Chain A
Amino acid sequence: NAGVTQTPKFQVLKTGQSMTLQCAQDMNHEYMSWYRQDPGMGLRLIHYSVGAGITDQGEVPNGYNVSRSTTEDFPLRLLSAAPSQTSVYFCASSEPGRTEAFFGQGTRLTVV
Protein backbone atom coordinates (compact mmCIF):
# COMPACT_ATOMS: atom_id res chain seq x y z
CA ASN A 1 0.00 0.00 0.00
CA ALA A 2 2.30 2.75 -1.31
CA GLY A 3 -0.05 5.77 -1.15
CA VAL A 4 1.78 8.84 -2.51
CA THR A 5 5.34 8.22 -3.71
CA GLN A 6 7.79 11.01 -4.43
CA THR A 7 11.15 10.64 -6.14
CA PRO A 8 13.89 11.54 -5.59
CA LYS A 9 14.07 12.07 -1.82
CA PHE A 10 17.09 14.36 -2.08
CA GLN A 11 18.51 16.40 -4.97
CA VAL A 12 21.21 19.01 -5.42
CA LEU A 13 21.04 21.17 -8.52
CA LYS A 14 23.19 23.91 -9.92
CA THR A 15 21.60 27.24 -10.75
CA GLY A 16 20.09 27.10 -14.21
CA GLN A 17 19.71 23.33 -14.35
CA SER A 18 16.35 21.75 -14.99
CA MET A 19 14.78 18.74 -13.38
CA THR A 20 11.48 17.00 -12.73
CA LEU A 21 10.20 15.96 -9.34
CA GLN A 22 8.09 12.86 -9.67
CA CYS A 23 4.86 12.13 -7.81
CA ALA A 24 2.70 9.04 -8.18
CA GLN A 25 -0.34 7.87 -6.23
CA ASP A 26 -2.04 4.49 -6.29
CA MET A 27 -5.29 5.46 -4.59
CA ASN A 28 -7.08 6.58 -7.77
CA HIS A 29 -7.49 10.07 -6.33
CA GLU A 30 -8.70 12.73 -8.74
CA TYR A 31 -7.05 15.65 -6.98
CA MET A 32 -3.30 16.16 -6.70
CA SER A 33 -1.27 19.11 -5.44
CA TRP A 34 2.29 20.30 -5.00
CA TYR A 35 3.42 22.28 -1.95
CA ARG A 36 6.74 23.66 -0.84
CA GLN A 37 7.79 24.02 2.77
CA ASP A 38 10.25 26.68 3.81
CA PRO A 39 11.43 27.52 7.34
CA GLY A 40 8.92 29.74 9.11
CA MET A 41 6.54 29.69 6.14
CA GLY A 42 4.49 26.54 6.53
CA LEU A 43 3.42 24.75 3.35
CA ARG A 44 2.53 26.85 0.31
CA LEU A 45 0.58 25.61 -2.69
CA ILE A 46 2.48 25.65 -6.00
CA HIS A 47 0.14 23.97 -8.49
CA TYR A 48 -2.80 21.65 -8.27
CA SER A 49 -4.91 19.41 -10.50
CA VAL A 50 -8.52 18.31 -10.19
CA GLY A 51 -8.22 15.60 -12.83
CA ALA A 52 -6.24 14.34 -15.78
CA GLY A 53 -5.63 17.16 -18.24
CA ILE A 54 -6.62 19.88 -15.76
CA THR A 55 -4.11 21.96 -13.82
CA ASP A 56 -4.15 25.35 -12.14
CA GLN A 57 -1.83 27.66 -10.27
CA GLY A 58 -1.57 27.95 -6.54
CA GLU A 59 -0.03 30.62 -4.35
CA VAL A 60 3.60 30.36 -5.58
CA PRO A 61 3.61 29.00 -9.18
CA ASN A 62 6.44 31.03 -10.71
CA GLY A 63 9.36 28.94 -11.92
CA TYR A 64 7.40 25.69 -11.93
CA ASN A 65 5.44 23.77 -14.57
CA VAL A 66 3.09 20.84 -14.16
CA SER A 67 1.07 18.51 -16.35
CA ARG A 68 -1.38 15.74 -15.56
CA SER A 69 -1.59 13.18 -18.34
CA THR A 70 -2.76 10.33 -16.10
CA THR A 71 -4.70 10.08 -12.85
CA GLU A 72 -1.72 8.50 -11.13
CA ASP A 73 1.11 10.92 -11.96
CA PHE A 74 1.65 14.61 -11.35
CA PRO A 75 5.25 15.67 -12.10
CA LEU A 76 6.62 19.07 -11.12
CA ARG A 77 9.16 20.61 -13.48
CA LEU A 78 11.76 23.22 -12.68
CA LEU A 79 12.89 24.67 -16.01
CA SER A 80 15.80 26.77 -14.72
CA ALA A 81 16.54 26.21 -11.05
CA ALA A 82 17.26 29.18 -8.79
CA PRO A 83 18.59 29.25 -5.21
CA SER A 84 15.19 30.60 -4.11
CA GLN A 85 13.74 27.22 -5.05
CA THR A 86 15.74 25.48 -2.34
CA SER A 87 12.99 23.91 -0.29
CA VAL A 88 11.24 20.71 0.71
CA TYR A 89 8.57 19.76 -1.81
CA PHE A 90 5.50 17.73 -0.93
CA CYS A 91 3.02 16.13 -3.27
CA ALA A 92 -0.50 15.37 -2.03
CA SER A 93 -3.59 13.61 -3.35
CA SER A 94 -7.20 13.68 -2.28
CA GLU A 95 -10.70 12.73 -3.35
CA PRO A 96 -13.51 15.09 -4.31
CA GLY A 97 -15.73 15.74 -1.33
CA ARG A 98 -13.05 14.72 1.14
CA THR A 99 -11.11 17.32 3.06
CA GLU A 100 -8.11 15.25 4.08
CA ALA A 101 -5.17 15.09 1.70
CA PHE A 102 -2.55 12.34 1.70
CA PHE A 103 1.04 13.51 1.44
CA GLY A 104 4.20 11.92 0.11
CA GLN A 105 7.40 11.86 2.14
CA GLY A 106 8.82 14.89 0.41
CA THR A 107 11.77 15.82 -1.81
CA ARG A 108 14.50 17.96 -0.29
CA LEU A 109 15.91 20.13 -3.07
CA THR A 110 19.00 22.29 -2.77
CA VAL A 111 19.95 24.71 -5.54
CA VAL A 112 23.53 25.98 -5.38
Chain B
Amino acid sequence: DQQVKQNSPSLSVQEGRISILNCDYTNSMFDYFLWYKKYPAEGPTFLISISSIKDKNEDGRFTVFLNKSAKHLSLHIVPSQPGDSAVYFCAASSYSGTASKLTFGTGTRLQVTL
Protein backbone atom coordinates (compact mmCIF):
# COMPACT_ATOMS: atom_id res chain seq x y z
CA ASP B 1 0.00 0.00 0.00
CA GLN B 2 1.64 3.20 -1.23
CA GLN B 3 1.20 5.80 1.51
CA VAL B 4 2.83 8.57 -0.53
CA LYS B 5 1.85 8.80 -4.16
CA GLN B 6 3.22 10.77 -7.06
CA ASN B 7 0.83 10.00 -9.88
CA SER B 8 2.77 11.75 -12.64
CA PRO B 9 5.88 9.79 -13.59
CA SER B 10 7.11 12.61 -15.80
CA LEU B 11 6.62 16.29 -16.55
CA SER B 12 8.03 18.50 -19.31
CA VAL B 13 8.13 22.27 -18.90
CA GLN B 14 9.67 25.06 -20.93
CA GLU B 15 12.47 27.10 -19.42
CA GLY B 16 11.12 30.14 -17.60
CA ARG B 17 7.69 28.65 -17.03
CA ILE B 18 6.29 27.24 -13.79
CA SER B 19 6.77 23.57 -12.89
CA ILE B 20 4.17 22.06 -10.58
CA LEU B 21 4.84 18.65 -9.08
CA ASN B 22 2.11 16.95 -7.10
CA CYS B 23 2.04 14.47 -4.24
CA ASP B 24 -0.79 12.78 -2.34
CA TYR B 25 -0.62 10.90 0.93
CA THR B 26 -2.96 8.62 2.81
CA ASN B 27 -1.48 8.40 6.32
CA SER B 28 -2.98 11.04 8.64
CA MET B 29 -0.08 10.55 11.06
CA PHE B 30 2.38 12.22 8.69
CA ASP B 31 3.32 15.60 10.14
CA TYR B 32 6.31 16.66 8.05
CA PHE B 33 6.72 16.62 4.31
CA LEU B 34 9.85 17.00 2.23
CA TRP B 35 10.91 17.24 -1.38
CA TYR B 36 14.15 15.72 -2.61
CA LYS B 37 15.82 16.15 -5.96
CA LYS B 38 17.86 13.40 -7.56
CA TYR B 39 20.24 13.48 -10.49
CA PRO B 40 21.32 10.24 -12.21
CA ALA B 41 24.03 8.29 -10.36
CA GLU B 42 23.75 10.57 -7.33
CA GLY B 43 21.96 10.35 -4.02
CA PRO B 44 18.83 12.41 -3.35
CA THR B 45 19.45 15.94 -2.09
CA PHE B 46 17.11 17.81 0.20
CA LEU B 47 15.21 20.66 -1.43
CA ILE B 48 12.48 22.01 0.85
CA SER B 49 10.19 20.87 3.63
CA ILE B 50 6.94 21.85 5.31
CA SER B 51 5.41 21.13 8.67
CA SER B 52 1.80 20.05 8.88
CA ILE B 53 1.01 23.19 10.88
CA LYS B 54 1.78 25.33 7.83
CA ASP B 55 0.20 25.53 4.41
CA LYS B 56 3.05 27.15 2.53
CA ASN B 57 6.83 27.32 2.67
CA GLU B 58 8.98 29.25 0.25
CA ASP B 59 12.69 29.13 -0.50
CA GLY B 60 13.83 31.14 -3.47
CA ARG B 61 12.36 29.67 -6.64
CA PHE B 62 10.82 26.76 -4.74
CA THR B 63 7.50 26.83 -2.91
CA VAL B 64 5.73 23.92 -1.30
CA PHE B 65 1.99 24.05 -0.62
CA LEU B 66 0.20 21.71 1.76
CA ASN B 67 -3.55 21.03 1.78
CA LYS B 68 -4.13 18.84 4.81
CA SER B 69 -7.83 18.32 4.24
CA ALA B 70 -7.10 16.96 0.79
CA LYS B 71 -3.92 15.18 1.91
CA HIS B 72 -2.15 16.82 -0.98
CA LEU B 73 1.04 18.78 -1.41
CA SER B 74 2.66 20.39 -4.39
CA LEU B 75 6.05 21.81 -5.29
CA HIS B 76 6.16 24.91 -7.48
CA ILE B 77 9.35 25.91 -9.26
CA VAL B 78 9.33 29.40 -10.73
CA PRO B 79 11.00 30.11 -13.07
CA SER B 80 12.07 26.66 -14.20
CA GLN B 81 15.67 26.29 -15.35
CA PRO B 82 17.40 23.54 -17.36
CA GLY B 83 19.42 22.60 -14.26
CA ASP B 84 16.15 21.72 -12.54
CA SER B 85 15.83 18.66 -14.80
CA ALA B 86 15.94 15.75 -12.36
CA VAL B 87 13.72 13.26 -10.55
CA TYR B 88 11.79 14.80 -7.68
CA PHE B 89 10.71 12.68 -4.72
CA CYS B 90 8.07 13.63 -2.23
CA ALA B 91 8.67 12.20 1.25
CA ALA B 92 6.81 12.21 4.54
CA SER B 93 7.64 11.67 8.20
CA SER B 94 5.38 10.79 11.09
CA TYR B 95 8.04 11.54 13.67
CA SER B 96 8.03 15.30 13.95
CA GLY B 97 11.51 16.68 13.62
CA THR B 98 13.24 13.53 12.59
CA ALA B 99 14.38 12.25 9.23
CA SER B 100 15.40 8.79 10.34
CA LYS B 101 12.22 7.21 8.94
CA LEU B 102 10.98 8.70 5.71
CA THR B 103 8.27 7.35 3.42
CA PHE B 104 8.93 8.23 -0.20
CA GLY B 105 6.78 8.55 -3.27
CA THR B 106 7.77 6.97 -6.55
CA GLY B 107 9.16 10.17 -8.04
CA THR B 108 8.40 12.52 -10.92
CA ARG B 109 10.96 13.09 -13.66
CA LEU B 110 11.05 16.78 -14.58
CA GLN B 111 12.46 17.81 -17.93
CA VAL B 112 12.98 21.53 -18.46
CA THR B 113 13.34 22.29 -22.14
CA LEU B 114 14.95 25.30 -23.79
Do A and B interact? yes
**CB neighbors of A among B2-23 (8 A):** 4, 6
- The docked-state distance in angstroms from the alpha carbon of A42 to that of B106 is 4
Q: What does the 1/0 interface line of B88-114 toward A look like (CB < 8 Å)?
A: 010101000111111111110000000
**B82 — which chain A residues lie within 8 A by C-beta?**
none
B25 in the interface, Cβ–Cβ < 8 Å?
Answer: no
- The docked-state distance in angstroms from the alpha carbon of A104 to that of B45 is 9
With contact pairs A42-B104, A42-B105, A44-B104 given, residues A31 and B98 touching in the complex (Cβ less than 8 Å): yes
Interface majority SS (helix, strand, loop, mixed), chain A = strand
Q: By the criterion of a CB under 8 Å from any partner CB, how many residues of chain A are at the interface?
A: 30
- The docked-state distance in angstroms from the alpha carbon of A92 to that of B104 is 13
With contact pairs A31-B99, A31-B100, A42-B107 given, residues A99 and B42 touching in the complex (Cβ less than 8 Å): no
- The docked-state distance in angstroms from the alpha carbon of A97 to that of B93 is 12
- The docked-state distance in angstroms from the alpha carbon of A94 to that of B34 is 14
With contact pairs A42-B89, A92-B99, A105-B41 given, residues A100 and B104 touching in the complex (Cβ less than 8 Å): no
The contact sample of 8 A-B pairs, CB cut-off 8 A, is A32-B100, A43-B104, A92-B99, A98-B98, A99-B32, A99-B97, A100-B46, A101-B99
Residues of A within 8 A of B (CB): 4, 31-33, 35, 40-45, 48-50, 58-59, 90, 92, 94, 96-106
Known: A90-B44, A101-B102. 5 other contacts (CB 8 A): A42-B106, A43-B102, A98-B98, A103-B44, A104-B43
Residues of B within 8 A of A (CB): 4, 6, 32, 34, 36, 41-46, 49, 89, 91, 93, 97-107
